[in-house]
Amino acid sequence: MMSDDGRLPVVVLISGSGTNLQALIDGAAGGQPFRVCAVISNRPDVPGLQRARAAGIPTEVVDHTAFSDREGFDAALGDAIDGFAAELVVLAGFMRILSNAFVERFAGRMLNIHPSLLPAFPGLHTHRRALEAGAREHGASVHFVTAELDGGPVIAQARLAVAADDTEASLGARVLAREHILLPQVVCWFAEGRLRLREGQVWFDGHPLRAPLQC
Ligand code: GAR
């Protein structure tokens, strides 16, 4: 169900600085067909919450340290999301592993952005690991979230060449800048109804996607 103004209501989950959240806020303000209806963080006092408040977006903290187990945290997080009647959940730098029950609850309507060309380098420290592996290309991926960590079907990627003098910081900064274009683009496609997950397969414009889209 769309909101009254016809734009898709999106809840964004964050754990930190929220620059990808900012890209979504800016995209929505610039007329893209979605709106950020709430921002939920598992950490209090992170800069991303400030970004949301500055944009007049409701925020909520579901602090994982207040729960004795993952299931309890995930149930509270899921209830918080449902309280905002979101059509899409976007993990934008949300650094918690999610239970199968949570993933099932939002199956087909939850996206994650990850700073590598998946399936390469799931998990943490992706830029360092890409450099250590001598990767010639690196980038970022947006995928539907499934139970496997950073393992759901990839929708779209931003690729860039690794420079000979790249450091973890320089490479990370270039990837992040591309993330800020990639993520709003994929959310737009979802909002426009061009993108769906059916039986574990990404569909785009009515056809199964054979390879990730390039942004
Ligand atoms: C981004 O690079 C995002 O891809 C990454 O965290 C960063 C968050 O930055 N996510 C992951 O590593 C998830 N596995 P931001 O808070 O400035 O958007």
- Tens of pLDDT, residue by residue over 1-30, are 555 589 999 999 999 999 999 999 999 999
- Calpha distance 97→142 (Å, rounded): 16
DSSP string for residues in 40-108:
EESSTT-HHHHHHHHTT--EEE--GGG-SSHHHHHHHHHHHHHTTT-SEEEESS------HHHHHHTTT
Tokens coding 21: 């959240």
For ligand 1, what atom is nearest to the CA of residue 14?
16
Q: Tokens representing 199?
A: 């039986």
The per-residue pLDDT for range 37-61, each reduced to its tens digit, is: 999 999 999 999 999 999 999 999 9
pTM score > 0.75 for this model?
yes
- Ligand 1 atom nearest to 23, measured from its CA: 18
- 180 has catalytic annotation: no
Cα–ligand 1 centroid distance for 175 (angstroms): 10
Domain 1-106 identical in fold to domain 112-215: yes
pLDDT at 147: 87
Task: Compute, in angstroms, the gap from residue 113 CA to the centroid of ligand 1.
Answer: 7
The closest residue, in CA terms, to atom 1 on ligand 1 is: 93
* Å from CA of 55 to ligand 1 middle: 20
Residue 63 pLDDT > 90: yes
Of 149 and 169, the one with more pLDDT: 169
The active-site residue, picked from 114, 127, 138, 180, is 114
Ligand 1 atom with minimal separation from the 112 CA: 13
pLDDT at 35 over 90: yes
* Residue-wise pLDDT tens digits, 89-143: 999 999 999 999 999 999 999 999 999 999 999 999 999 999 999 999 999 999 9
Instruction: Report helix angle 19-29 to 168-191, nearest 10.
Output: 40
Pairing of β 110-114 and β 88-91: parallel
Question: Which residues pair with residue 138 across a beta bridge?
Answer: 160
Ligand 1 proximal residues by C-beta, below 6 Å: 14, 16-20, 48, 92-93, 113-115, 140, 150, 176, 179
Hey, is 103 helix, strand or coil?
helix
d(CA 133, CA 126): 10
- In this predicted structure, what is the pLDDT of residue 113? 98
* Architecture, CATH, for domain 112-215: 3-Layer(aba) Sandwich (3.40)
Cα dist. 63→51, 73, 127 in Å?
A: 18, 8, 28
Domain boundaries, the chain: 1-106, 112-215
The residue whose CB lies within 8 Å of the most ligand 1 atoms, and thus the one to mutate among 42, 96, 113, 150, is 113
Top-level class of domain 1-106: alpha beta
CA 127 to CA 147: how far, in whole Å? Answer: 24
Instruction: Please name every residue paired with 154 in a beta bridge, in sequence order, or none if there are none.
Output: 143
Would you state the pLDDT for residue 149? 83
